[in-house]
Structures are given as structure tokens and as C-alpha cells.
């Protein structure tokens, strides 16, 4: 392991909470595709399968920030365990309802309740911020490491979910996702030594963390970014099917995640200088530009290369986002602020998937890559126009400090969980 990462795990307890976070984030990449695979096998109704998956994702987007807000007030253990039990019970009920062919409306009720799932990535990154508070270099390495873990989840998770549901029994994929969630959350919350100290209710007198203008820019930009991810997933499956190799879609999408994973690993070895806001805007612009080659795809090998290159822009941009969340959200609302970025991504993924599916139906798979290009342009426009709002606020009690050298703040930091990404 490179030296920055070796130093990162020198602190007691860091390996354990990072490993628990990995298990707890696996459902991000498994639950949605697992539900689609399960329902389509049991009912042969892809429309219902997609609608249920979208219901879980949107419910998580709505409920996630509220759960994180409670975590900031009362602590991870007191909030995450009950929320996880609710989600697991609803997921179990959904599996039974699908298998027993209960009325459709019951499936949607259970799917919405299953969205009561905590943002485990935000919880893990808030622990890193607590452990390495005041050490920008270590926080930079920590966020880079967690971006690697995120992408690894998205490489392995769908393969497990689809493989188990198709080769064992239809409910196996979502069932294993639930097992991962339970194991990860209960293991994480059992580790009290690294749990961030909750903040008294009076620290929340100013309402939601989303009132921060800087965070608003990040969330809206992430909604457009999520549309890129959602559209690419749908269009890539359609393109692979049109090429006569639908099964290759999972490999091509894994290469996309591998590009991001590689960039995250390399980015963690660097010590970037200058304002984090400037680097972030540049990252969003590069992400938008990386969508241009997708308009020229003619075969699967070219698509794989183009997506690998596009993936190189993802993790560094996500890592820098964490530094900006830290700068613009008071410490007492840090976990909530981190989770709002996940909400933006989740909403974007749902919108991007829907738009891409419509374009593919109307004009074919190749035309579908126009959707991520438009989403990238929108993300770049929002980031550019919102750059002024990303300037750090003056120092005040309970607020973040101005950016330290290298663009990372001097206190806690945050994260988002993917969506779909940025799990």
C-alpha cells in the first residue's frame, strides 16, 4: 500500500470502521439492480421492476438527509440501528410480497419504507474527519481511499446481485444486500471509540444544512452529475444489446468504475494546491468534456476505452466535493450536509435513467448518449455560475474554517453515498 494510505490506517480503529463501511455500502450497488432482476424474473414485468427500484432510490434520497440530521444531533449508534431495522423489515416484506404475488400497491409501500436506509458512506467519512481533524493531508488521503471503496462496490455489487438472483433464486440478490447492510451498520455502530461526538440541539437552530448557498450549488451540480451516471448505465445496456452482446454491458460499466477507482487511488497520492473550489469546477468541466467521445462510439471496445477515460474524472471531483462540503457546512450539521450530495446524485440518477430510456426507445441506443452529454453540460454550467457561492464563509462559532493549504478544511469533512455513487 502506498505510504499515504499506510499512514492513514496507523490510527487504532480505522481499519475496522472502514471495513464496516465497505459492507454497509454494498447495498447501494446491489439493492436496485437486485430488485429489478428479482421482479423481472418473478413477474416478467420490467416496467414494474424499474418503478420499484426507482421508488427505493427516491425514498432514500428523501429520507437520507433526515436520518443524517438526527445522527448529527443524537449520534450514529442511537439513530442508525433503528433506521436500519426499519429498512431491513421493509425489504424482507418486499421480497415476500413479490414472491407471493401480492397487489402492486403493497410492493410500492414496502419499497418506499425500504428507502429508510442510512448514508453509510457519510457516516464513515465523518469518522475519518473526527480521527484526522486538523490534518488536511490525511483527510485528502482518507477521502481518496473511500472513493476507491465506493467504486469497488460498484464493480462487485451488481455482479453479485445479478449472478445470485439468476443462478440461485430470484430473491437472493436483494437478500444478500440486506445481509450486508445489517452486518455493516451494526459492526460500525459497535465501534464507539471513533464515533463522532453528537452535537446539542441548539447547534441546529438555523435549520437545515441545505440553507448553505455553497451546499446548494454542490447539490444541484450533483443532480446533473447523477443524470450522467444514470443515463450511461441505461444507454450502455441498450448499446451492448444492439451490438448483440448484452452480457458485456456489465463488463463495460465495470471498466467505467475501474477508471474512477484508478484515478481515486492516484489522486490520494497527490497533495493538490490552490483553492478546492477552483479544482472542483475544473473537475466538473472535465467530466462534461469526457462525454463528447461517447457521441462517436461505434463498437463495444471503443465504448469501453471511452468510459474508462471518462471514469478518470469522477473520483477526483468527488473527493474535492467532500472538502467543499466541509468548508460550507457547520460542524454540527456535517453528516446532514454530506448526505444532501447523495440526495442530489440519487435524484439525478432517476431523472437520467428515465430520460435516457425515452431517447433510446425513440431514436436508438447510440442517440441515447446525447443525454449524459447534455447532463454534463448542465453540470458544468451550474458549477461555473455557482463558483462565487463556493467561496468560504467568514469564520464563526461552529462554522467551518477557511480552506487550508491543498484545499481541504481544517476540521471535519463529509461525503456522499452514490449513488447511486457516492455511496
Tell me the pLDDT tens digit for each residue of 234-258: 788 788 878 887 767 778 888 888 8
In the chain, what percentage of residues exceed pLDDT 90? 23
> Does the pLDDT of residue 404 top 70, yes or no?
no
pLDDT of residue 410: 29
pLDDT of residue 243: 84
- Assess contact for 110 and 93: CB atoms under 8 A: yes
Q: Name the domain boundary from 152, 171, 198.
A: 198
Average pLDDT over residues 297-306: 90
In 3D space, the residue among 117, 69, 67 whose CA is nearest the CA of residue 90 turns out to be 117
Residues 126 and 251 in one domain: no
**CA–CA dist 91, 98 (Å, integer):** 11
pLDDT of residue 413: 33
Residues 171 and 229 in one domain: no
CB neighbour list of residue 353: distance below 8 Å, 6 or more residues apart: 50, 54, 230, 231, 233, 234
> Does the pLDDT of residue 418 top 60, yes or no?
no
Q: How many domains does the chain have?
A: 2
> Does the pLDDT of residue 2 top 60, yes or no?
no
Q: Is the dihedral of CA 59, 61, 62, 66 positive or negative?
A: positive
Residues 249 and 189 in one domain: no
Q: Poorest-confidence range of 74-78, 96-100, 203-207, 298-302?
A: 203-207
Confidence class for position 415, pLDDT limits 50, 70, 90 = very low
Confidence class for position 3, pLDDT limits 50, 70, 90 = low
More confident residue, 139 or 412: 139
Mean pLDDT comparison of 295-304, 320-329, 386-395, highest-scoring range:
295-304
What residue has cell string 463528447?
Answer: 292
191 located within any domain? yes
415 located within any domain? no
Average pLDDT over residues 146-173: 82
1 located within any domain? no
Q: Poorest-confidence range of 92-101, 158-167, 168-177?
A: 158-167
pLDDT of residue 201: 60
pLDDT of residue 176: 94
Residues 17 and 68 in one domain: yes
Residues 269 and 180 in one domain: no
251-277 burial string, b = 16+ CB within 10 Å, else e?
Answer: ebbbbbbbbbbbbbbebbeeebeebbb
**CA–CA dist 127, 336 (Å, integer):** 14
Determine the 3-state secondary structure of 160 from DSSP.
helix
Q: Of all helices (H) and strands (E), which one includes residue 197?
A: none
pTM of the model: 0.74
Residues 267 and 380 in one domain: yes
98-to-33, 93, 102, 109, 301 alpha-carbon distances in Å: 15, 9, 6, 12, 38
Average pLDDT over residues 395-423: 37
4 located within any domain? no
More confident residue, 278 or 392: 278
> Does the pLDDT of residue 420 top 50, yes or no?
no
412 located within any domain? no
420 located within any domain? no
Residues 254 and 305 in one domain: yes
310-to-223, 270, 283, 288 alpha-carbon distances in Å: 18, 20, 11, 9
Find residue 422's DSSP bridge partners. Answer: 418
110-to-32, 92, 103, 105, 298 alpha-carbon distances in Å: 14, 9, 12, 9, 42
Q: 222 lies in which domain range?
A: 210-407
pLDDT of residue 392: 57
322-348 burial string, b = 16+ CB within 10 Å, else e?
Answer: bbbbbbbbbbbbbbbbbbbbbbbbbbb
> Does the pLDDT of residue 396 top 50, yes or no?
no
Residues 66 and 108 in one domain: yes
What is the helix, strand, coil percentage profile of the chain, to 5?
75, 0, 25
Residues 255 and 392 in one domain: yes
pLDDT of residue 416: 35
> Does the pLDDT of residue 317 top 60, yes or no?
yes
Q: Name the domain boundary from 147, 175, 198.
A: 198
Instruction: Return mean pLDDT, the chain.
Output: 80
In 3D space, the residue among 47, 35, 118, 56 whose CA is nearest the CA of residue 84 turns out to be 118
Residues 123 and 194 in one domain: yes
Q: What is the DSSP letter of 2?
A: -
Q: Name the domain boundary from 172, 198, 224.
A: 198
Residues 28 and 71 in one domain: yes
414 located within any domain? no
Residue 141: give its domain's CATH number: 1.20.1250.20
Residues 183 and 253 in one domain: no
285 located within any domain? yes
Find residue 64's DSSP bridge partners. Answer: none
Amino acid at each position: 500500500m502506498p505510504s499515504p494510505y499506510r499512514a492513514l490506517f496507523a490510527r487504532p480503529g480505522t481499519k475496522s470502521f472502514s471495513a464496516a463501511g465497505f459492507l454497509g455500502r454494498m447495498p447501494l450497488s446491489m439493492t436496485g439492480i437486485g430488485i429489478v432482476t428479482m421482479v423481472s424474473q418473478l413477474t416478467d414485468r420490467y416496467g414494474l421492476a424499474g418503478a420499484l427500484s426507482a421508488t427505493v432510490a427516491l425514498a432514500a434520497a428523501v429520507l437520507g438527509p433526515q436520518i443524517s440530521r438526527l445522527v448529527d444531533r443524537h449520534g450514529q449508534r442511537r439513530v442508525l440501528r433503528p433506521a436500519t431495522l426499519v429498512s431491513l423489515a421493509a425489504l424482507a416484506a418486499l421480497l415476500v410480497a413479490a414472491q407471493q404475488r401480492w397487489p402492486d400497491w403493497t410492493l410500492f409501500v414496502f419499497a418506499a419504507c425500504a428507502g429508510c436506509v442510512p448514508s453509510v458512506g457519510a457516516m464513515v467519512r465523518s469518522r475519518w474527519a473526527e480521527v484526522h481533524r486538523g490534518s488536511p493531508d490525511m483527510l485528502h488521503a482518507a477521502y481518496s481511499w473511500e472513493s476507491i471503496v465506493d467504486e469497488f462496490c460498484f464493480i462487485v455489487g451488481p455482479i453479485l446481485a445479478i449472478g445470485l438472483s439468476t443462478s440461485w433464486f430470484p430473491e437472493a440478490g436483494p437478500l444478500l444486500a440486506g445481509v450486508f447492510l445489517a452486518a455493516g451498520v451494526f459492526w460500525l455502530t459497535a465501534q464507539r471509540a471513533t464515533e463522532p461526538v453528537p452535537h446539542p440541539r441548539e447547534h441546529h437552530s438555523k435549520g437545515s444544512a441545505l440553507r448553505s448557498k455553497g451546499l446548494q450549488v454542490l447539490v444541484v451540480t450533483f443532480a446533473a452529475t447523477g443524470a450522467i451516471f444514470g443515463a450511461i448505465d441505461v444507454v450502455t445496456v441498450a448499446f451492448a444489446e444492439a451490438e448483440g452482446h448484452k452480457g458485456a454491458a456489465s463488463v463495460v460499466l465495470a471498466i467505467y468504475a475501474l477508471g474512477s477507482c484508478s484515478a481515486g487511488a492516484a489522486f490520494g497520492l497527490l497533495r493538490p494546491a490552490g483553492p478546492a473550489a477552483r479544482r472542483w469546477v475544473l473537475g466538473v468541466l472535465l467530466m462534461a468534456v469526457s462525454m463528447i467521445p461517447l457521441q462517436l462510439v461505434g463498437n463495444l471496445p471503443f465504448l469501453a476505452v471511452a468510459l474508462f477515460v471518462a471514469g478518470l474524472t469522477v473520483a477526483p471531483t468527488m473527493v474535492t466535493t467532500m472538502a467543499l462540503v466541509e468548508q460550507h457546512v457547520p460542524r454540527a450539521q456535517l453528516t446532514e450536509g454530506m448526505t444532501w450530495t447523495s440526495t442530489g446524485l440519487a435524484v439525478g440518477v432517476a431523472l437520467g435513467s428515465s430520460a435516457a430510456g425515452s431517447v433510446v426507445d425513440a431514436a436508438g441506443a447510440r442517440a441515447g448518449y446525447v443525454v449524459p452529454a447534455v447532463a454534463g453540460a448542465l453540470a458544468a454550467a451550474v458549477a461555473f455560475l455557482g463558483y462565487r457561492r463556493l467561496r468560504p464563509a467568514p469564520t464563526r462559532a461552529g462554522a467551518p474554517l477557511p480552506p487550508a493549504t491543498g484545499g481541504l478544511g481544517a476540521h471535519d469533512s463529509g461525503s456522499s453515498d452514490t449513488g447511486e455513487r457516492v455511496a
